[in-house]
Structure 1
Amino acid sequence: MRSPRSLPALVSLRAFEAAARRLSFSLAGEELYVTQSAISHHIQKLEAELGAALFERRTRAVALTPAGQAYYERVHAAFELLRQGTEDIRAPQRPRRRLRIGLLSSFATRWLAPRLPAFSAAHPDIELQLQPDIGLADVAGGEVDAAIRYGRGTWPGVRARQLMRERLSVVCAPSLIAGRKRPRSPQDLLRHPLLTSHSHNPFEWPAWARLTGVDLGGAQNVPLHDYNIVIEAALAGQGVAMGRHRMIAAQLASGALVEALPGLALDDPRIGWWLVTPRGAADPDVQTLHDWLVEAAVQTGAPV
């Protein structure tokens, strides 16, 4: 019986197989994450051990010698057996389960998207398929598996669980209220256009008006398609917007947006972001998403 020592080192055999398969020392080095000189060293060592030249070195290329070609066919076949055996014994990967999530594009881009890698890392077997739309996805009818909605949680025919509260205050570009233009009362804000986003049940400005006792009857309302557009318009100084602090935390922190009347905020515990699902038993993957969203919201802190 031959001693195992009669076999060349595995690292030398790997270097030879890769170089012979690709007919390039440099490409073999890239494949094995070593330098070209390391590949050359391993092959020279193998040739010395075998007592036979395996490659013909040419100016800008290499070629297998007849001995090298014959040896490569055996070594390559052996490595293929090893690769196949390894794949066969590995536990099959669990198929990813897909969750279709309806949500506003503003929530998707401003809050959820930066956190998706963390969710994927924590739950690699769940794939979130986001379906942004300003319309309300039909959760009860099975259009989506769940939806993330903004409001007070009063949608009929579904189950709504609050993920996080939202804080509202009127915000704008600093230049809009600089110097003598600074408002002294809520009524002063009505000198500027009120930037609003599409909603099936608009409540933000009416709720703020009730809080402050302001009559919105003479206000100039500028309806915009999406809350992302509202924020861009506010940043450009085109009017005042109802700032959802969860969505504009970065702009408030940088000073790109400021509170028009600091300290005057609408803190209604019913207003926030909700996970909406069909009534009945909760899907385990949807429950996983719910728990993760709540934890992520807690980590970002309460709206300030």
Structure 2
Amino acid sequence: MPPPLPSTQALACFEAAARHQSYTRAAQELALTQGAVSRQIGALESLLGVVLFHRTRHGVALTESGQQYARQVARWLLALRQGTLDVMAQSGAGASICLAAVPTFATRWLVPRLPLLAREHPDITVHIDVRTRPFLFAETAYDAALLAATPGQIVQWPGVQAQWLLHEDIVPVCSPALLARAARRGPGRAWQPVSAQAVAQLPLLQQSTRPQGWQEWFEAAGVPAAHALQGPRYELFSMLAAAASQGLGVALIPPLLIEEELARGALVIACARPLRQARGYYLVWPEPAPHGALARFAQWLAHTAAAGTPAPA
């Protein structure tokens, strides 16, 4: 016979108590009595044959076995809640995809194109959470991930398949006013790019996750730049774009992430010398090959990226 399954009530009590390190606070969260929480966890320990908590002066603390089980239970309950919400939201029709994605690419490139997905595949709903680094799919409820990575990082990610989408080419951008001042131009010619030597005289905005970015760009341009490592640092491309549009300096950003700013003139290309990065954008999913809604989403995403499909106005 298969082993008995713990009740969802017992798992919910255990997860809440593990998170709060307190039966009392778990009871308050679940609208139960402390005695009911204690009984549920006791029944769970009897079923498992393992002690999950030990008493402390301030409440309870997880045992080593309890810590391991708590991580698993939290994932199970999250997947169960998400699956339940998906079925309720779709009323039995359509399908949903839970996607982990790097924030700026998701916000600036993917989300503006989701209306195209809705028109072509109205039955597919995409839920997006932020993840910036590879992870184990078995430990999450994600169906796929949309990440920036190098080919080497993708190869080292165990148990996944990946679909390359886009190269990451970076180019110097800044506000028109800053470019006009640097080139001593009138407003009507502010958009015209300048030389790499002129860029070296501008204040530089740095990305904290890619501290060598400006050094690599100036080296590729054959221009010495003593202050290539200087300037304020920002973690996300979206932060760099906001700082550059405010005239704080020039930033290295992929044009595909600032389509809206370039279109309305908040940012202009300071120097027409793009530099291809080792990183690219990939759709990644756990083996085996995708099927159903995920397969259709992957096909749509690949076609949209390859065609250079612009976001709807």
Residue type of the alignment partner of 2:107:
T
Note closer, same or farther for the CA distance 1:188–1:112 as it changes in structure 2 (3 Å cut). Answer: same
238, 241, 247: which one aligns with 2:251: 241
TM-score by length of 1: 0.58
CA deviation map 1:187-219 (0-9, x unaligned): 4423333323453x6664354233123456533
278, 285, 297: which one aligns with 1:277: 285
Return the alpha-carbon distance in structure 1 between the equivalents of residues 301 and 136 of structure 2.
18
Match of residue 176 from structure 1: 178
Task: Name the SS of the counterpart of 1:192 in structure 2.
Answer: coil
Note closer, same or farther for the CA distance 1:98–1:184 as it changes in structure 2 (3 Å cut). Answer: closer
Note closer, same or farther for the CA distance 1:185–1:206 as it changes in structure 2 (3 Å cut). Answer: same
Note closer, same or farther for the CA distance 1:122–1:248 as it changes in structure 2 (3 Å cut). Answer: same
CA deviation map 1:247-288 (0-9, x unaligned): 112322332211112x322246x6432112234433443322
Match of residue 256 from structure 1: 266
Match of residue 70 from structure 1: none
Runs of 4+ in 1 over 6 A off after TM superposition: none
Do residues 129 (structure 1) and 127 (structure 2) align? yes
> What displacement does 1:142 show?
4.3
My pick for the range that moved more, 212-221 or 248-257, is 212-221
Do residues 289 (structure 1) and 287 (structure 2) align? no
Return the alpha-carbon distance in structure 2 between the equivalents of residues 109 and 152 of structure 1.
21
Structure 2 unaligned regions, length at least 5: 1-89, 185-192
Match of residue 161 from structure 2: 159
Note closer, same or farther for the CA distance 1:295–1:180 as it changes in structure 2 (3 Å cut). Answer: closer
Return the alpha-carbon distance in structure 2 between the equivalents of residues 216 and 178 of structure 1.
21
> What displacement does 1:137 show?
5.0
Residue type of the alignment partner of 2:175:
A
Match of residue 240 from structure 2: 230
**Structure 2 counterparts to residues 50-89 of structure 1, below 5 A:** none
Percent of aligned pairs sharing the same letter? 30
Structure 1 unaligned regions, length at least 5: 1-91
Q: Choose 1 or 2 for highest CA Rg.
A: 1
Residue type of the alignment partner of 2:101:
L
Match of residue 135 from structure 2: 138
Task: Name the SS of the counterpart of 2:304 in structure 1.
Answer: helix
> What displacement does 1:186 show?
2.3
Task: Name the SS of the counterpart of 2:97 in structure 1.
Answer: strand
Task: Name the SS of the counterpart of 1:275 in structure 2.
Answer: strand
User: Would the aligned equivalents of 1:197 and 1:227 in 2 still touch at CA under 8 Å?
Assistant: yes
**Structure 2 counterparts to residues 13-32 of structure 1, below 5 A:** none
Note closer, same or farther for the CA distance 1:115–1:185 as it changes in structure 2 (3 Å cut). Answer: closer
User: Would the aligned equivalents of 2:182 and 2:202 in 1 still touch at CA under 8 Å?
Assistant: no
